[in-house]
């Protein structure tokens, strides 16, 4: 006999119950349609009836503008750029992982990052993370990895490292890193 309490199977929610659940979930934090659908799927019965309830609730949420992937993507992108100082590639990947449609992701990234100075943003990211000028190959590689994972293009990263007077042999060691398909 296992220790602890045994879980009672959860009752499935009807349309009104699922709507209340969804509004509370959206009240805790913004979510994409895909994230909310995954969350609600566990609360409805499997099959056509459950899918119909889920679709009806999503339609109501969209009608009342509680659920809008376009505004979610715009807000998410703005906050990642202004607060976390992340590059376009990182934000693009995050939005795709959250289930935002590729068309919306590309429009949002283009609107937010096309006018932005990527090098200035990368420098702000370095300052925010308190990353100092590297003094050897190991530190140079660490700075490079941090900037790549923050979503900056390798061209901008090399430009910053050259302006820091990083030795050419340390930069040459970095040439083995894979190229970024969204390099700018």
Q: Are residues 125 and 104 in the same domain?
A: no
Q: pLDDT: is 161 or 11 the higher one?
A: 161
Is the predicted pLDDT of residue 146 greater than 90, yes or no? Answer: yes
Residue 7 lies in a domain: no
Q: Are residues 140 and 170 in the same domain?
A: yes
- pLDDT by residue (tens digit) across 120-133? 999 999 999 999 98
pLDDT of 127: 93
Backbone angles phi, psi at 39, to 5 degrees: -65, -45
Residue 168 lies in a domain: yes
Residue 5 lies in a domain: no
Range of the domain at 153: 118-174
Q: Are residues 102 and 129 in the same domain?
A: no
Among 158, 152, 162, CA closest to 182: 152
- pLDDT by residue (tens digit) across 3-36? 666 655 567 889 999 999 999 999 999 999 999 9
Residue 124 lies in a domain: yes
Backbone angles phi, psi at 18, to 5 degrees: -70, -35
Q: Are residues 87 and 51 in the same domain?
A: no
When pLDDT is averaged across residues 84-100 and rounded to a whole number, the result is: 95
Is the predicted pLDDT of residue 177 greater than 60, yes or no? Answer: no
> Cα–chain-centroid distance for residue 17?
30
Residue 8 lies in a domain: no
The domain tally of the chain equals 3
Residue 90 lies in a domain: yes
Residue 45 lies in a domain: yes
pLDDT of 181: 45
Structure tokens at 31: 């979510």
pLDDT of 136: 83
Residue 179 lies in a domain: no
Q: Are residues 124 and 168 in the same domain?
A: yes
Among 18, 153, 146, 177, CA closest to 84: 146
């Amino acid at each position: 006999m296992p220790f602890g309490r045994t879980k009672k199977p959860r009752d499935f929610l009807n349309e009104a119950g699922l709507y209340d659940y969804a509004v509370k979930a959206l009240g805790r934090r913004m979510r994409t349609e895909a994230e909310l659908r995954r969350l609600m799927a566990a609360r409805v019965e499997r099959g056509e009836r459950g899918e119909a309830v889920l679709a009806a609730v999503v339609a109501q949420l969209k009608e009342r503008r509680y659920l809008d992937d376009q505004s979610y993507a715009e807000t998410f992108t703005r906050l990642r750029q202004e607060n976390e100082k992340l590059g376009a590639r990182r934000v693009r990947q995050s939005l795709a992982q959250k289930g935002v449609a590729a068309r919306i992701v590309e429009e949002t990234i283009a609107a937010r990052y096309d006018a932005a100075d990527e090098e200035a943003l990368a420098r702000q990211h370095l300052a925010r993370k308190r990353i100092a000028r590297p003094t050897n190959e190991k530190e140079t590689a660490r700075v490079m990895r941090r900037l790549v994972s923050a979503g900056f293009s390798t061209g901008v990263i090399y430009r910053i490292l050259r302006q820091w007077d990083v030795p050419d042999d340390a930069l040459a060691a970095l040439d083995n890193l894979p190229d970024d398909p969204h390099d700018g």
